[in-house]
Structure 1
Amino acid sequence: MDSRLRGNDDDGWLRVIDLWRSWSWRAKAWAGAALLLFGAFTALWFVTLPPPLPGYAQTKAGWAPSEAWLYDRNGRLIDSARVNFSVRRLAWTPLESVTPVLPQTIIASEDRRFASHDGVDWWAMAGSLRDRLEGKRARGASTLSMQVAAFLAPQLAAPGSRGWRDKARQMRAAMDLEDDWSKDQILEAYLNLAGYRGEAQGIGASALSLFGKAPDALTKTDALLMAALLPNPRAGPQELGRRACLLASQNRTGQGCLPYMAAALDMLGPARRLALDPGLAPHLANRLLKTPGMKITTTLDMDIQRMAVTALSRQLQGLGSDRARDGAVLVVDNATGDVLAYVGGVGGSSTASAVDGANSYRQAGSTLKPFLYAQAIEKGYLTPASILDDSPVQLDTASGLYVPQNYDHDFKGPVSARTALAGSLNVPAVRTLVLAGVDSFRDRLWDTGYRGLTEDGQYYGFSLALGSAEVTLMEQAAAYRTLAKGGRWSPLRLRADDKKEVPRAIFSSQSAWIVSDMMSDADARAQSFGLDSALRLSFWSAVKTGTSKAMRDNWCIGFSDRYTVAVWVGNLEGDSMRAVSGTAGAAPVWRDLMLALHQGHPGRQPAQPSGIETRQVRFADGIEPPRREYFLAGTGQSVIGVAPRQSRRPRITSPVGGSVYALDPDIPIQRQRMAIQVAGAVEGFRLILDKKDLGPADARPQVLAGPGAHRLQLVDPAGKVVDSLLFTVR
């Protein structure tokens, strides 16, 4: 350092020392005291420095409700879901949305001079200090501003923070708050940040949980009770009623204490639903609402949603919990793909009410058959008039013999493809799958939106024709809408902001239209369902039912030109239904909704596309009555015949190979003979059972086979075995 500068510093200190020496002892004492006071004040200033507080706008913007809300396409609230489980609160409630009597009552109870003080009520502080000095119970002197500061900076009111330093920090924070916030903003923040009882925070959640009301509907009595809760949110009804009575007397409310006692008991009773919504779509709310404060506008229509809930509830109540406990419904607008109703369940007697039945994978049953026939018709393998053999069949598979049976365990013989689909016959469907190919059919189902089919066709085998795969109701509705839209598929929309995708062709418009016509034919399904089933409407509609293995699932899915309605009924826990047929479970719900949706606007058959020709057909041997039929252009026929018996391969049709039969000890043994049936031209053929000649095959003999394994053979006139099978009797 420059010597001249160092010399100047030294001279300055010398002058200070000389000045200090020139003071009297009294002046030196005063200077020391001032210095100590300044130091103490500075230390106190830093020791009581409050934490920084957020502004009003920042506080309001940072408020995150624990709930999220679901709205219908017209902006009507249909449901909500709790997303944050650490606290329970609704949206921030503006001061103007609170009944004026509540803030007035709280100010009178908690902070009488709120409008005039600067954050600290010095008169109240002085009164509290006086009470302490006189040995009395000190009155609370904490202002609303001080409490809001503690809400914003929880360390100011942390457990154990009751010393003078903590109080001073809180007072300074309140004064800082008053400098930056208006009185109305502080009051509004207090109403939203205060906890009144339990986990509910803020006036919105507390008013609903305690009174089942919105904040703007609270009465004077409600306001007194809420103000009475603030000193002790855990107070019992007696204490709460007495305090409310005291507040009422201070406010000169002219009534006794008894009404407040009764109101307190009711208020602290069972918690009310913490949402101002009808609770119409809880499963969809849980599916879509993931973030606190979310507000999602869906494609749902509240009126149609309510209609679907009512129809399903009524049907499940009618069935009874001992027959079926659960169900789900979807209603889709064909033109847009918008889901207008989404019912994942209705509770009631359900033992798995939280499971979303509309988005759960269940076995499809016969509901996949329309797509199989559409593929076969499109490829030219079949026409609606083609004859299929509904008789016993056994197919060799990797896992053994596959022997399909019809729902009623009966066989109809030769039937047209139209009758087979409309009547939901299983054996003709399996024969059709043999024509179309399992892998090809599986791939076509995948393209139609059935994304649960993650294995190749050989995994499912021939049972895929009967719906052994698992699907969701959403996938079903989208797939059937594909037929309604002329074979064009696009995903369904649940949210108003979901992207509208360009439909892609899955089936030809001609095959989709023909299959839709087959599904709409009430006369064709009369043999299986009767002439007056729940599937028959007064206007055009195409519909298909399905029942899965062991009666675990019952489906009914159909469409008009405007809507697709998909219904599932069953038990979500997987146990079988009891006494629920194909048209007794889901079909009545489908019918009720279709009638309601088309009231005043009946459904109309879609226009016939080009590339289809119409013929009047006649069936040889009177297999089916003459009728008008539709064909792909160039495939029409006027006379439909059955292949002559002579053209069929001679074979044994009953018993079925690999079957196990049981003798019943309660039935006379002579009445337990087994009828042997054969197919094809079998003149001159003979039947051999365990090397014993049973006689001519066309005589259809009846045999009594004892316990054990048996081999049955069909032998031609030259002695050659043309068919052979094994069966077992126990």
Structure 2
Amino acid sequence: MSWGIIHFLFPYPEKVKYGKVILSKNNEVIGATLNTSDKWCLYSSLEDVDPFFIKAITQKEDKWFYYHFGINPISVFRAVFYNLTSQKRVSGASTITMQVVRLLEPKERTYLNKLKEAFRAYQLECTYSKDEILEMYINSIPFGGNIEGIKAATVLYLQKNPNALSTAESSMLSIIPNRPTSLSIQHQKEFLKSERDKWIVRYYEEGIISDDEKYSALLEPLHIKRENMPRTTPHLNRRLINKYPLDKVIKTNIDVGKQIKAEKIISKYSRRQSGLGIYNAAALIIDNKTNNVIAYIGSQDYDDDQNAGQIDGNLALRSPGSTLKPLIYALGFDRGILTPKLQILDVRHDFGSYSPVNYDEQFRGEVTVTEALKQSLNIPAVSILEKIGTPALINSLKNAGFNTIKRQEKRLGLSLALGGCGVNLTELTGLYAAFAQEGSYTPLHFTSAEIDSSKHQIVTPESAYMIYEILSQLKRPDFPNNYQNSFHAPPIAWKTGTSYGRRDAWSVGYNKEYTVGVWCGNFNNIGVPGLTGAETATPLLFSLFQSLYTGNNISKWEYDIPEHIFEREVCATSGKVPNIFCDHLVSDTFIPGVSHTEKCTHLKNYFVSTDSSFYYCHDCLPKEGGYIKKQYANPSVELMTFYLENNLPFNAPPQHNPKCRTSITGVAPQIISPVEGREYIITDKSTELEMKAHLSPDVAYTYWYVNDHFIKKVERGQSLFHQFKFGQNKISCTDDKGRNAEIYIFVK
């Protein structure tokens, strides 16, 4: 109880004030901060310090350290005797524990303060172990200027860690703390060397070094020079210091060799790109086996003040362009609506008020899923997202660590497929690392303490495999035309992206070993006409990938084929299960029990006149014969409209028998604008919405009705705009063959 009261009245001295030190995966110092007193004081445990330095410093300062309780009585009596007989202060009798007190609470050197030091030393001994006190000591002893502690001294003076010291270096550092001014490394190098050699001999005489160690140490030149504190990963350092404000030591997973290579590549590349008005770049490299971030480059140059080099491009919120499309297609594979050879539409399409176009403002009619993803076509991606649902994509992104999406999800729509959201390079690279790991996402590990191994299966291994097969094809439209080293390019799967206004160029690639993400652009958000993911970011991506391998030691990884994926023959025209008329087949990958099994209908049988000028329906088919059976193209209404609007030839059937008295049932109009069931918000009562429908090729004009009131007769190809009343509206369209379609919308 009394001891507790004493501690309450006389609180413990404040512990050592440490700055923060950031280490690489191999414990190299890659960054540090000053402490609150603007001193370089970095924490190091006793285990991380050369054992001889510990021996030397205790032998020199307090050889009985482990045998007294903070105060050495023999030293005290000897000091009193010498000081009295010499009439001046000759010896202070300070133990290491007392020196720790003085370092923590500096006071004027008086006898009264000496007594206070003794009391504090006793307090420390009652509270901490000997090793803890010794650790405080070696971490706070002065080494000249604003350098305190062995860690800061070895890093700044010798450019190494304290566990890598030679006998000579340990001897030299053991004598500086008592005389940091007279043994200054800048002005007293010769004197420092002579004092070092003197103490090397003394340590030998005291039996703590051997003969060989003594002679080797005496022959060792004095290599000591103050350098700046390393700053290998300045952006990551700041990120981790903000994340772990209480940690004295932050050990990252950075591979210094790969980090420095990547920095040089990006710096050199950015200087070339600056001539095009592209000033900033960032990159992230992940080791897929561990999910460790091994290289982190936040900008082209942290010290580039003219181009905002201190901004962290790995955290900057930017539009991802087309880089989310592989996830959309993978979800389509998992829902069974897609397979790689399936033909899908690339035609003009209005998704309500959203009317995307392709990057080249052209439409291709019908393309395979593979080609749609390889060419990064916009209409197919948005169409697929509409089918799988925006919430499904958002949920997958949240499971893949996209924290920014969580904050935006309430206002995200179909434009998400084309970059209508904000993401950062860290999130995007983590997504592609999941593709490399069979569709399983694990949080990225920036530090050795981050061991979160939780997994989220964002897509199946089967769909991840199909995505890899598509994205790893070398002959692709997004391969840079000006990249001269394609022959040496490592085998990877990659995807590019360019944001609206050409503000962001992305390229993210992966193989079994690494995932690399690259962003190029301007932090000030100014677009550049020549900026694209293919021409701007992809050359940098391949350069970074090549830097990860030595010589020709390039991985020849092939993606492991999942157990539950197979191949089947499909119609080359439609990509669907072949029908009897499908005479050209190709092999396609599919997931049994999941992938679509719809039979091909790209042809349709017609009974036509002998001259093929018209066809007969069931009601007008001549009973006496005089007709032939022929097959004609059977495109969807949307594809047929595309052919007709672009004057593209196709094997269309002839007109219906003009003498037929029976009204035949054919393809009714398909209202595509407005969108059925959608809610439209208008701010001006005079706002008009477009009314548009896909029509069969035999239709010349249509009749439009709103709320059962006739509006207008419209010829094929003409547009119609109408001002709707607030509330629910019924829209009807009847073609000139009497076929009808109707939808409901809500206007407010």
Q: Same fold (TM over 0.5)?
A: yes
Q: In the alignment, is the contact (CA less than 8 A) between 2:375 and 2:477 conserved in 1?
A: yes
Aligned to 1:255: none
Aligned to 2:273: 319
Aligned counterpart for 1:554 among listed residues 498, 505, 513: 505
Q: In the alignment, is the contact (CA less than 8 A) between 1:363 and 1:467 conserved in 2?
A: yes
TM-score by length of 2: 0.60
The SS at the match of 1:544 is strand
Aligned to 1:592: 543
Aligned to 2:147: 200
User: Radius of gyration: which is bigger?
Assistant: 1
Aligned to 1:149: 98
Aligned to 2:204: none
- Separation (CA, whole Å) in 2 of partners of 1:293 and 1:361: 29
Aligned to 1:37: none
Aligned to 2:622: none
Aligned to 2:665: none
The SS at the match of 2:536 is coil
Distance apart, 1:475 and its partner CA: 2.5
Aligned to 1:542: 493
Bigger CA drift: 415-424 or 510-519?
Answer: 510-519
Distance apart, 1:602 and its partner CA: 1.0
Aligned to 2:589: 630
Q: Aligned AA for 1:541?
A: I
Q: In the alignment, is the contact (CA less than 8 A) between 2:281 and 2:298 conserved in 1?
A: no
Q: In the alignment, is the contact (CA less than 8 A) between 1:200 and 1:206 conserved in 2?
A: yes
Q: Aligned AA for 1:363?
A: S
Matching of residues 320-719 of structure 1 within 5 Å: 320=274, 322-333=277-288, 335-345=289-299, 347-348=301-302, 350-351=304-305, 352-397=308-353, 402-454=354-406, 459-496=411-448, 498-499=450-451, 501=453, 503-523=455-475, 525-526=476-477, 540-576=491-527, 579-597=530-548, 599-615=553-569, 617-619=571-573, 628-631=587-590, 632=595, 634=597, 642-643=635-636, 647-648=640-641, 681=697, 684=700
Distance apart, 1:323 and its partner CA: 0.9
Post-superposition CA distance 1:623-648 (Å, at most 9, x none): xx996433437358697975367854
- Separation (CA, whole Å) in 1 of partners of 2:478 and 2:9: 81
Q: In the alignment, is the contact (CA less than 8 A) between 1:149 and 1:174 conserved in 2?
A: yes
Q: 1:302 to 1:151 in 2, by over 3 A?
A: closer
Q: 1:610 to 1:576 in 2, by over 3 A?
A: same
Q: Aligned AA for 2:540?
A: V
Q: 1:127 to 1:552 in 2, by over 3 A?
A: farther
Q: 1:201 to 1:76 in 2, by over 3 A?
A: closer
Q: When you count helix as a share of all residues, which structure comes out higher?
A: 1
Distance apart, 1:273 and its partner CA: 2.3
- Separation (CA, whole Å) in 1 of partners of 2:105 and 2:513: 63
Distance apart, 1:606 and its partner CA: 2.7
- Separation (CA, whole Å) in 2 of partners of 1:283 and 1:636: 58
Q: In the alignment, is the contact (CA less than 8 A) between 2:507 and 2:518 conserved in 1?
A: yes
The SS at the match of 1:407 is coil
Distance apart, 1:367 and its partner CA: 0.8
Q: In the alignment, is the contact (CA less than 8 A) between 2:235 and 2:312 conserved in 1?
A: no
- Separation (CA, whole Å) in 1 of partners of 2:331 and 2:189: 78
Aligned to 2:581: none
Q: Aligned AA for 1:312?
A: I
Post-superposition CA distance 1:203-258 (Å, at most 9, x none): 54356546767785659999999876548x9x998xx669979x99xx9xxxxxxx
The SS at the match of 2:404 is coil
- Separation (CA, whole Å) in 1 of partners of 2:513 and 2:136: 50
Distance apart, 1:366 and its partner CA: 0.8
Aligned to 2:653: none
Q: 1:575 to 1:294 in 2, by over 3 A?
A: same
Distance apart, 1:495 and its partner CA: 4.1
- Separation (CA, whole Å) in 2 of partners of 1:155 and 1:303: 38
The SS at the match of 1:414 is strand
Q: In the alignment, is the contact (CA less than 8 A) between 1:649 and 1:679 conserved in 2?
A: no
Q: In the alignment, is the contact (CA less than 8 A) between 2:386 and 2:414 conserved in 1?
A: yes
Distance apart, 1:429 and its partner CA: 1.6
Give aligned pairs, total: 575
Q: In the alignment, is the contact (CA less than 8 A) between 1:367 and 1:546 conserved in 2?
A: yes
Q: Aligned AA for 1:326?
A: A
- Separation (CA, whole Å) in 2 of partners of 1:645 and 1:283: 53
Calculate percent identity across the aligned residue pairs: 21
Q: In the alignment, is the contact (CA less than 8 A) between 2:142 and 2:149 conserved in 1?
A: yes
Distance apart, 1:374 and its partner CA: 1.7
Q: Aligned AA for 1:490?
A: T
The SS at the match of 2:506 is strand
The SS at the match of 2:301 is coil
Q: In the alignment, is the contact (CA less than 8 A) between 1:522 and 1:531 conserved in 2?
A: no
The SS at the match of 2:568 is strand
Query: Unpaired segments of 5 or more residues in structure 1?
Result: 1-50, 108-113, 130-138, 252-265, 659-676, 687-692, 701-713, 724-730
Distance apart, 1:370 and its partner CA: 0.9
Distance apart, 1:545 and its partner CA: 0.9
Distance apart, 1:422 and its partner CA: 0.9
Distance apart, 1:327 and its partner CA: 0.5
- Separation (CA, whole Å) in 2 of partners of 1:62 and 1:79: 25
The SS at the match of 1:453 is helix
The SS at the match of 2:515 is strand
Aligned to 1:18: none
Q: 1:421 to 1:119 in 2, by over 3 A?
A: farther
Distance apart, 1:544 and its partner CA: 0.8
Distance apart, 1:76 and its partner CA: 4.1
- Separation (CA, whole Å) in 2 of partners of 1:447 and 1:548: 24
Q: 1:196 to 1:142 in 2, by over 3 A?
A: farther
Post-superposition CA distance 1:400-439 (Å, at most 9, x none): xx23233344444433322121111222222222222223
Q: 1:151 to 1:499 in 2, by over 3 A?
A: closer
Q: 1:170 to 1:325 in 2, by over 3 A?
A: same
TM-score by length of 1: 0.61
Q: In the alignment, is the contact (CA less than 8 A) between 1:283 and 1:343 conserved in 2?
A: no
Post-superposition CA distance 1:67-97 (Å, at most 9, x none): 334241xx44252433743343133676965
2:241 is aligned with 1:286: yes
Post-superposition CA distance 1:169-203 (Å, at most 9, x none): 6799999999xx9xx99999877644354432235
The SS at the match of 2:356 is coil
Post-superposition CA distance 1:588-639 (Å, at most 9, x none): 232134345462431213315434323365338xxxx996433437358697
Aligned to 1:47: none
Q: In the alignment, is the contact (CA less than 8 A) between 1:204 and 1:214 conserved in 2?
A: yes
Matching of residues 299-318 of structure 1 within 5 Å: 299-318=253-272
